[in-house]
């Protein structure tokens, strides 16, 4: 009983990974360098976006990933991770190129951690503010 269930879970997980758009791959090409922020007294890794990534800024992109809850107050902002929560940037040691902040146009439906979502939104890049994610989708909508 366990073996067939495990096979189904692995198959669904690999299908979700295979279906992910090229945006995650583009994010993965981003290089990072240390930058000192005197106001924090620490060095922080900040992205160095290449010209191709900069051309994508302001354009609509699609991401498929795992829901990571963040803003339970307004229900309009989430983190989307290329990897499940146990392996994501916040909990599992993956890189910052594997997560994106999603700012929805309106409230999103109730979700559970690690729900797989397909999201379209306008890409905004951040290479200045260490308090914000590097990849952000604004005016986002779930594609069902």
State pLDDT tens for residues 12-56: 333 333 344 589 999 999 999 999 988 888 888 899 999 999 999
- Pick left, alpha or beta for residue 81 (phi over 0 → left; psi -120 to 50 → alpha; otherwise beta): beta
Domain residue limits, the chain: 21-142
What pTM, to 2 d.p., does this model score? 0.79
What tens digit of pLDDT does each residue of 75-89 get? 789 999 998 876 665
Give the separation between CA 17 and CA 20, rounded to whole angstroms: 5
CATH homologous superfamily for 21-142?
Answer: Nucleic acid-binding proteins (2.40.50.140)
């Amino acid at each position: 009983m366990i073996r067939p269930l495990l096979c189904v879970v692995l198959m669904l997980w690999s299908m979700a990974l295979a279906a992910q758009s090229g945006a995650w791959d583009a994010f993965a090409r981003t290089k990072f360098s240390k930058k000192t922020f005197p106001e924090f007294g620490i060095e922080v890794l900040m992205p160095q976006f290449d010209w191709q990534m900069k051309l994508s800024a302001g354009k609509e992109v699609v991401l498929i990933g795992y829901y990571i809850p963040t803003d339970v107050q307004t229900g309009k902002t989430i983190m989307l991770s290329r990897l499940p929560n146990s392996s994501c940037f916040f909990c599992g040691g993956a890189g910052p190129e594997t997560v994106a902040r999603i700012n929805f146009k309106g409230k999103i439906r109730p979700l559970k951690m690690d729900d797989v979502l397909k999201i379209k939104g306008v890409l905004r890049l951040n290479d200045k503010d260490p308090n914000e994610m590097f990849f952000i989708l604004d005016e986002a909508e779930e594609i069902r």
